[in-house]
Structure 1
Amino acid sequence: MNKKIPRIYIMNSLKINTYLVLPENEYHYIKNVLRMQENDLLEIFNNTNYVFLATIKNIKKKNITVFILKSVFKSVESNIDIHLGQIISKDEKMNFTIQKSIELGVKSITPLFLNKIHAVNNYIYTEKKIIRWKKIAISACQQCHRNIIPKIKEPIDLQSWCANFQKKETKIVFHPESLFNINQLQKSIQEIYILVGSEQGFSKNEIKKINNYGFISISLGPRILRTETASIAALSILQFQFGDVN
């Protein structure tokens, strides 16, 4: 059985047959977590559809140098672009949603405040979370072998996000009282925007306003799902119906 080659993300342009000193923040992970040694192989991805195979040449105090051996084109991106608008949930739930959504192939994630007042009152607090969410995105790609890092967009209030789109775009909001399901969507979707609410869901008045922006209400079944479950269920179904999960 082939040994799994560890993967790391480097935000640099890379070239084969060159030496590269890894960022200092990778030292602890490679040396102490992975316990890698000189001459071990490492796979590097850099937000392109190429992966770079490298070998560790030397490990010094807080400093690791690798030699890039070759590059290989490798795309595991879905054939459908799914953009998730997610009402911001509690820390662990939001972290989980971001991680699993990326593993399921989401193209971008926009954290959403329910209203503009909430956005103003919580934006500074959320700025710290954005850094954490972007790290989770990289870690998820590292795990699931995606090479393009999905975008974690700046948080915005729900109404402003809904108003950004054109009428021709496919947009859906998940609501348990809807009479429609995903099977009733057209079969030629290549890009779709999905909206998932908080634990409390959306009120009837909120759904009416969202529908006025061209969002189609879709049900995920008769059971009431947690917000993080709804995101995962929706992405799984969409990838099965229109994407690359089969």
Structure 2
Amino acid sequence: MKIKKNIPRIYIENDLYINETYLLSKDNVHYLKKVLRVNNYYILEVFNNTNYIFFANIIYFSNNIIKIKIFSKRLKNIESPIHIHLGQVIPKHYKKMDLAIQKSIEMGVNIITPLFLHNLYTQNNNINISHKIQRWKKIAISACQQCQRNVIPEIKKPIDLFSWCKKNEDDIKIIFHPKAIFKINELQKSVKSIKIIIGSEIGFSREEIKKIVQYGFIPIKLGPRILRTETAAMVAITALQMQFGDLK
């Protein structure tokens, strides 16, 4: 069967098999019916956190229930050759965190760890962390749905900034700082895995930067301008993808 382009695309958290039928979740039913306004004649593209995409027919369609049947699958790996782990300090305004997660995933980040900074608003307002994580995971799925990624980046449980920084890992570790001397193109050419840290709206103090550097982070300059926290993540990941990834 010839499959048209731009068909509706949904995520299913299951192993998927050709000729098997699946009942869609309430979220997927709502998305297809209320947002995309599909009907029972549509073919769907389904992804499930693997490097395959699956194609399905809608075989049952009612007010609250949609059932599909898989009829084909195809290998589709569009993951970047560089693995990027983003440590993002949680901003005071959570919409900025939502945007940073969404756009960094579109640019190819693989792991996102939300970070607490001891002197910030976020630790002192009884925020519902489990609720935020679920929200961020939904944003991650939605971003993959839009940008055609099939492997969903991992959203880690929030952790204290310095506890995250001191973890011993093999990644190249970078902190972006407007007064840094080095630029991205001065890093070694064989970089495959990078851990980057992005601060909040107020940035890092001199003492905080000094401590982060002591944990092995390399200060890198993105340019002469001061960027908003949600912008900095996008610019940093774009620059890394252009230097080491698939934006060449």
- TM bucket, shorter chain: over 0.9
Give the secondary-structure state (helix, strand or coil) at the position aligned to 1:52: strand
- 1:61 equivalent to 2:57? Answer no
Give the AA of the match of 1:170.
I
Equivalent-residue separation in structure 1 for 2:111 and 2:70 (angstroms): 30
Asked whether the 8 Å contact 1:119–1:156 carries over to 2, the reply is no
Could you list the per-position Cα deviations for residues 190-222 of structure 1 after superposition, in whole angstroms to 9, with x for gaps in the alignment?
Answer: 000000111111111111100100000011111
Residue of structure 1 aligned with 2:235, choices 208, 212, 233: 233
Residue of structure 1 aligned with 2:79, choices 59, 77, 80: 77
Give the secondary-structure state (helix, strand or coil) at the position aligned to 1:17: coil
* Residues 78-97 of structure 1 mapped to structure 2, 5 A cutoff: 78-89=80-91, 90-97=93-100
Give the secondary-structure state (helix, strand or coil) at the position aligned to 1:172: strand
Equivalent-residue separation in structure 1 for 2:122 and 2:98 (angstroms): 19
Question: 2:31 is matched with which residue?
Answer: 29
TM-score of the aligned structures, taking structure 2 as reference length: 0.94
Equivalent-residue separation in structure 1 for 2:201 and 2:120 (angstroms): 19
Asked whether the 8 Å contact 1:19–1:68 carries over to 2, the reply is yes
Asked whether the 8 Å contact 1:173–1:216 carries over to 2, the reply is yes
- 1:108 equivalent to 2:111? Answer yes
Question: 1:159 is matched with which residue?
Answer: 162
Give the secondary-structure state (helix, strand or coil) at the position aligned to 1:55: strand
Question: Which blocks of at least 5 consecutive residues in structure 1 are unaligned?
Answer: none
Question: 1:131 is matched with which residue?
Answer: 134
- The runs of at least 4 consecutive aligned structure 1 residues that moved more than 6 Å come to 116-119
Equivalent-residue separation in structure 2 for 1:243 and 1:47 (angstroms): 21
Could you list the per-position Cα deviations for residues 20-72 of structure 1 after superposition, in whole angstroms to 9, with x for gaps in the alignment?
Answer: 11122221211222111123100010111111100111202311111111111
Residue of structure 1 aligned with 2:153, choices 144, 150, 154: 150
* Residues 171-190 of structure 1 mapped to structure 2, 5 A cutoff: 171-190=173-192
Give the secondary-structure state (helix, strand or coil) at the position aligned to 1:54: strand
Seen in structure 2, the aligned counterparts of structure 1 residues 30 and 119 have a Cα distance that, compared at 3 Å, is closer
Deviation at 1:122? 5.0
Give the AA of the match of 1:30.
L
TM-score of the aligned structures, taking structure 1 as reference length: 0.94
Question: 2:244 is matched with which residue?
Answer: 242
Seen in structure 2, the aligned counterparts of structure 1 residues 122 and 159 have a Cα distance that, compared at 3 Å, is farther
Deviation at 1:117? 8.7
Equivalent-residue separation in structure 1 for 2:5 and 2:15 (angstroms): 27
Asked whether the 8 Å contact 1:97–1:232 carries over to 2, the reply is yes
Equivalent-residue separation in structure 1 for 2:171 and 2:19 (angstroms): 45
Equivalent-residue separation in structure 2 for 1:98 and 1:124 (angstroms): 18
What is the RMSD computed on CA atoms of the aligned residues? Answer: 1.6
Seen in structure 2, the aligned counterparts of structure 1 residues 175 and 155 have a Cα distance that, compared at 3 Å, is same
Give the secondary-structure state (helix, strand or coil) at the position aligned to 2:133: helix
Seen in structure 2, the aligned counterparts of structure 1 residues 171 and 123 have a Cα distance that, compared at 3 Å, is farther
Give the secondary-structure state (helix, strand or coil) at the position aligned to 1:70: strand
